[in-house]
Amino acid sequence: MANDPTDDVSELLKLIEDSIEVPIPQEIQKMVAKRKEELENKGIVPTRAIGKCDAGKEEPVLCIGKTLKTNHPVFNNLVDRGNLSNYLNDESTGIPQMTDELYGDPNSDKALALAQNLREIIRSKSAEYVACKLTQSEKGIRPAMMPGSVSRDEAVNLYYGDESYSADDTVQLALTLLKSIKVGQNVSVYFENGFGDYINEISKHGGFDMEDIGATKSESSYPFVTLVHLLIFVYEKAGEDRSEVEQLMLQTGGVLYLTPGTEHEKYMTFAVPSLRAFLHGWLMDEKKRNSLKKMFKAANGIGNGSFARNKEVRGDLDKMYNYLEIIATHLIDNGSIPWQTLRQLIDSLISEAFDLDARWVYLGFVRDMVD
């Protein structure tokens, strides 16, 4: 039986509201008092309740970057704060009036209660605005539903010019994104059929930092490298639950999201296929599983050494990590190693090691991959 679309919209609204973080009332009170002092010292009268404080064209009371964040870093990168702040400044929300009153005397007896009401209204109105934008199906698929996509009012889809999406389609896409598990600041992944729920249960804080899964920040913009690290971590952490995890992996597929900060042209969405080939070919084979960990360790050892010695090596290291990403993509797609790419990775490792005057570079992982 299909889900009631109304239930899906309610779930979406709750997920958005739960993800939005607004400072506690006492902090809002302090922010307004500090901003008032700052503007008065410059002889400036605020022009908006909330907005970008470094925009140069406006002088808001509350800086939106400090006032409104989400606890899901990938979704956080996708929120359009410019249009959102315009909506929050509309008189109909009540936010401008409340902000004016708080700004008038941020240290009054009723200032704390006012800050509390302002906090709740900013949070609820922001959630309503974002949910409304995500369910406007007539404008097509946008990055906040599927990173890397564009809406019809941004550019025509040259491949499927007459495609259309129902409101339910856009809600489902947005739900998938918001239910995805964050891994570092740039990547999140959604798994279906219970595997995502299992991973959520073992995460420390609604997701993972790169170091939690044995990865590095240098790898955080490479989605399939990050995914391979995550799957190795989850598999090895399973312990006595390993047979259960294997069954969940066999039944799952999913979606992988990449949103590297302000580099919007690099935003992408990938389908994650069945993990059967990767599970049987690599995760369940301890020797091969360890060979992947050793490969990543060798690359990161060279990468960290190169950064320590020379800051102008980004291009060479990008090439090395691109080889790793190609290898990781093949592993997830079909459980195979692209040997030509592996050879290019080895050449890159040797070249970087030579530039570092390193005595040796570990390549023993190659033998373990083919045995």
Quick: pLDDT tens for 72-128.
888 888 888 888 999 999 999 999 999 999 999 999 989 999 999 999 999 999 999
- Contacts of 183 by beta carbon, 8 Å cutoff, 6+ apart: 189, 207, 208, 210, 213, 226, 227, 230
Tally of structural domains, the chain: 2
Q: With respect to residue 112, please indicate whether it lies within any of the assigned structural domains.
A: yes
Q: With respect to residue 360, please indicate whether it lies within any of the assigned structural domains.
A: yes
Q: With respect to residue 322, please indicate whether it lies within any of the assigned structural domains.
A: yes
pLDDT for 357 equals 58
Q: With respect to residue 293, please indicate whether it lies within any of the assigned structural domains.
A: yes
Shared domain for 193 and 128, answered yes or no, is no
- Contacts of 172 by beta carbon, 8 Å cutoff, 6+ apart: 8
Closest among 365, 75, 326 to 224, alpha carbons compared: 326
Shared domain for 206 and 310, answered yes or no, is yes
d(C-alpha 81, C-alpha 95), whole Å: 16
Shared domain for 218 and 364, answered yes or no, is yes
Domain that holds residue 333: 187-370
Q: Is the pLDDT of residue 139 over 80?
A: no
The CA dihedral of 299, 302, 303, 304, to the nearest 10 degrees, is 120
Closest among 271, 294, 284 to 363, alpha carbons compared: 294
pLDDT for 351 equals 84
Shared domain for 117 and 253, answered yes or no, is no
Q: Could you tell me the pLDDT band of residue 215, with boundaries at 50, 70 and 90?
A: very high
pLDDT for 122 equals 96
Q: pLDDT tens for residues 172-189?
A: 888 999 999 999 999 999
The pLDDT > 90 percentage for the chain reads 56
Q: Is the pLDDT of residue 152 over 50?
A: no
Shared domain for 110 and 213, answered yes or no, is no
Shared domain for 126 and 205, answered yes or no, is no
Shared domain for 264 and 365, answered yes or no, is yes
d(C-alpha 100, C-alpha 288), whole Å: 63
pTM to 2 decimal places: 0.85
Q: pLDDT tens for residues 32-58?
A: 999 999 999 989 999 999 998 876 677
Q: With respect to residue 126, please indicate whether it lies within any of the assigned structural domains.
A: yes
Last residue of a domain, one of 133, 151, 166: 133
Shared domain for 235 and 123, answered yes or no, is no
d(C-alpha 151, C-alpha 154), whole Å: 5
Q: With respect to residue 77, please indicate whether it lies within any of the assigned structural domains.
A: yes
| 3-state SS track over the chain | CCCCHHHHHHHHHHHHHHHEECCCHHHHHHHHHHHHHHHHHCCCCCCEEEECCCCCCCCEEEEHHHHCEECCHHHHHHCCHHHHHHHHCCHHHCHHHHHHHHHHCCCCCCHHHHHHHHHHHHHHHHHHHHHHHHCCHHHCCCCCCCCCCCCCCCCCCCCCCCCCCCHHHHHHHHHHHHCCEEECCCEEEEECCCHHHHHHHHCCCCEECHHHHCCCHHHCCCHHHHHHHHHHHHHHHCHHHHHHHHHHHHHCCEEEEECCCCCHHHCEEEEECCCHHHHHHHHCCHHHHHHHHHHHHHHHHHHHHHHHHCCCCHHHHHHHHHHHHHHHHHHHHHCCCCHHHHHHHHHHHHHHHHHCCCCCCCCCHHHHHHC
Shared domain for 240 and 359, answered yes or no, is yes
Shared domain for 359 and 226, answered yes or no, is yes
Tokens for 183, please give them. Answer: 């891994």
Q: With respect to residue 159, please indicate whether it lies within any of the assigned structural domains.
A: no
Closest among 38, 33, 34 to 112, alpha carbons compared: 33
Last residue of a domain, one of 97, 118, 133: 133
d(C-alpha 206, C-alpha 73), whole Å: 11
Q: Could you tell me the pLDDT band of residue 151, with boundaries at 50, 70 and 90?
A: low
Q: With respect to residue 170, please indicate whether it lies within any of the assigned structural domains.
A: no
Shared domain for 127 and 223, answered yes or no, is no
Last residue of a domain, one of 70, 100, 133: 133
- Contacts of 341 by beta carbon, 8 Å cutoff, 6+ apart: 323, 326, 327, 330
Shared domain for 98 and 237, answered yes or no, is no
pLDDT for 30 equals 95
